[in-house]
Each structure stands twice: as structure tokens, then as C-alpha cells.
Amino acid sequence: MVLITRDVPRDAALNEARMPMPTITYVSSTDGTSAVEVEVGATVMRTAVVNGIRGILGECGGQAMCATCHVYVEEASHELPAIADDEDEMLECTAEPRTGQSRLSCQLRAGDFRSITVRLPERQV
């Protein structure tokens, strides 16, 4: 028998249990607004794809190599991680114009935020 335990302080475990799940809200000009509760670690791109939210393609599977997961971040509960060099490079290849709110949604991971609202571009290709 193998017993797996997590080395989490009791208070931290209790606080985690009380915390609401992270929420991702997608705003589409054609499909309205959709909110999805996710586990920590889920990306904005993968969550959209598995929940059938149109407007994010994610053709490279989250490797920051296609730019078909471009979103505009409208609001986030926390400051998001800085844009890495590979993301920055791909954001120059988006189908819709890059703005100061542009991010690759495959690089946005629940846990870095508790809630986030992203607007979907009109097109990804």
C-alpha cells in the first residue's frame, strides 16, 4: 500500500478549501459572455477549447507557437506574469491587432489569477 500525503500546513489547507475556484470569463461580440470555474493550473486557452467556447483555436496546443489563442485581457484579480520573449514574438503574428491588453491565452494560468475576464478577438486566422 502506498500512502501519498501532501505537505501542506493545516491552516493553508483549510484556507484553500474555503477559497472559491478560479473563474475565467470570456466576452464574445457574437456569443455573449461565458464564465467557467476552473482548477488551479488550467489555462485560459485549454478551458475555452474543452468547454466549446468559440473564438480561441489553440492550434499549437499551448506551446506559444501559433498565436491562435490571442485574447484581450479586460480585467484580472492579480497582476499577471510578464510576457515572455516567445509570447512577445508570437503576439506580433496575431490576426487581429495587438494592443496593450493582448496576451496569448495559453500562457495565462489559473492560480496566477483568481478571476480574469478576456475579450475574444473577431478572428484568430
Q: How far is the CB of 28 from ligand FES (least distance, A)?
A: 18
SS3 10: helix
- Give the residue at shortest CB distance from ligand FES: 106
Q: How far is the CB of 35 from ligand FES (least distance, A)?
A: 21
| Pair 84, 63: CB distance under 8 Å | no
Of the pair 15, 54, the CB lying nearest ligand FES is at 54
Of the pair 15, 61, the CB lying nearest ligand FES is at 61
The whole-angstrom separation of Cα 85 and Cα 73 is 18
Cell of 85: 520573449
Half-sphere exposure of 80 (CA within 13 A, CB side): 25
What is the binding site for ligand FES (CB under 6 A)? Answer: 45, 58-60, 62-69, 90, 104, 106
Q: How far is the CB of 33 from ligand FES (least distance, A)?
A: 22
SS3 117: strand
